[in-house]
Amino acid sequence: MEKAPGKRRRLGAVVIIAVLAGAAFAVYAALTYPRTVVSFPVSFTIGADLEHREFDMPLLHGRAKVEVIVNSGTALWGATIKHHDETIWNHLTSQGGQTTYKSGWIELSSGNYNFSFATFGLGSLQADVKVTTKGGFW
């Protein structure tokens, strides 16, 4: 028994809607997937040193996370995220050996931001610094 033409059209419409919904979901997931917007190694010696990086929040992203992986050394370090000279987030700590610091997710609106990483004191520090952003889906 053959299907009626109306049922075929409805089935075709359902398939097309499902494919379009899947494609829209895939595009949204790709746009909101976590991205590394700042990544650099640091190797500071005795004294005070400072590194600055600018980054933009990608489209549909609203959160950022800072990660500092200390490879060796011990030093007092601080990190700051600023937007138009207003401090949005900062952290100051002393870390040594092989340890990792991860901030929680920081709420940021779209725009341009300045990230600063500094060390202070008599110690030295070798580390990798990374800022990752993500959208609402993730």
Give the number of other Cβ atoms within 10 Å of residue 122's Cβ.
Answer: 10
| pTM as predicted | 0.81
Name the band, by pLDDT with cuts 50, 70 and 90, for residue 1. Answer: low
For the segment 12-26, the average pLDDT, to the nearest whole number, is 92
Position with higher pLDDT, 73 vs 20: 20
Q: For the segment 42-73, what is each residue's pLDDT rounded down to a tens digit?
A: 988 877 789 999 999 988 899 999 999 988 88
Domain range list for the chain: 1-32, 34-135
Assigned architecture for domain 34-135: Sandwich (2.60)
Neighbours of 69 (CB within 10 A): 16
The pLDDT of residue 7 is above 90? no
**Beta carbons within 8 Å of 85's beta carbon, 6+ residues apart:** none
Closest CA to 65 of 102, 40, 92, 32: 102
pLDDT tens digits along 111-134: 999 999 998 877 788 899 999 999
